Structure 1
Amino acid sequence: MSPKPPKAMDGAQLDAALSQLYDNPASVRARSLAFSETIGCGDRQVRKWISGEAEVPRHIAMLVNLMLDTGTKPEELRP
C-alpha cells in the first residue's frame, strides 16, 4: 500500500494553523516572522504563502499538519 500524499494547504489554512501554533498571534506579520524563524526561511516567503501569492509547498503543509496533529510547539523545533 502506497502512502497518502500530504494534505494540500492554502494560504488561509496556513494562517489559521499558525494562529493555533503560536501563543501570541498578533498579526499576519508576527505569525509569518515567527514561523520563518522556526523553519529557517525569509518571512516574506511565508507571507507570500499566506496571501496566496505563492503556493504553500507540500512539505510545509505536511510539517504544519504534523505539528498540529502531535501538539508540537514551534519552539520544540528550534535548536
Structure 2
Amino acid sequence: MRPPATPSGWLLGTIAQFDALTDLANLVIARLTEAAADGNSAASNEIIRVRRGLREVDPRDATSVTTLASSLSQRAAELGP
C-alpha cells in the first residue's frame, strides 16, 4: 500500500499566497461595504469586481495571484484604514 501523497513545496507556497490573497480581498470588500453604506453606489460594483477577480484567479498560477494581490493592496491603501 502506498503512503498518502504530501503536497510539494511549490503547492504549499501557492496555497499560502492564495490564502493571503483571500484575506486581502476580504479586507477590501469590508472597506468597500462601509463606503457603500455611506451612499457610494460605485462601491457596490467594485465589490462585485473584487469577488469576480478572486473567483476567476487560478490559485495554481503564482503570477496571476501576485498580480491580483498587488492590485488589491493598492486599492486597500487608497481606501484607508
> TM-score higher than 0.5 here?
no
What TM-score do you get using the length of structure 1 for normalisation?
0.39
More helix per residue? 2
